[in-house]
A and B are shown apart, each in its own frame.
Chain A
């Protein structure tokens, strides 16, 4: 997204917190744990690849940890690692 225009001004304030909802922390923990297990690789490339494969309109509508969640779900489905509901 480097160099794209039209995203407007930067909201420069920040509260210094890691997470802004409990579910964000849980998504982070899930991703790091899957990384330890090798499901997500050490360098994070396969999760990053999945994040980039989120359809663009949806990508832009999701928050940072929503993108992590969506990509993790995609990756797990592609690897067939979870039993069907």
Chain B
């Protein structure tokens, strides 16, 4: 069961975790749209500690203006479910 559907607006969490994460700084706190569901994969943040925690992963598209304040392109990133929260 996945928490977000394609088309959902999501916000990347502002967390600044200790150690490895696939949530890049430039996306934190920003709102994007779920393009598609990639699958259910191991969370790398935990895998480096030897813990297997599987989560849905979403391709999320962020407009450049949202990330950088300007620009017309978009950036697409894979986001593990725990990196995301609902956006209004």
Contact = CB atoms under 8 A, between A and B. Distances in A.
Contact of B47 (A2, A45, A52, A53): A45
Nearest to B46: A45
Interface stretch (B8-16, B20-28, B53-61): B20-28
Interface string B1-45: 000000000000000000110001110000000000000001010
A45 B68 contact: no
Contacts of A49: 19-20, 48
Interface in A26-69: 41, 43, 45-46, 48-49, 52-53
Q: Determine chain A's interface SS by DSSP, over half rule.
A: helix
A6 interface: no
B80 to A, nearest CB: 12
A3 B20 CA distance: 18
Contacts of B44: 43, 45, 48
Nearest to A46: B48
A48 B68 contact: no
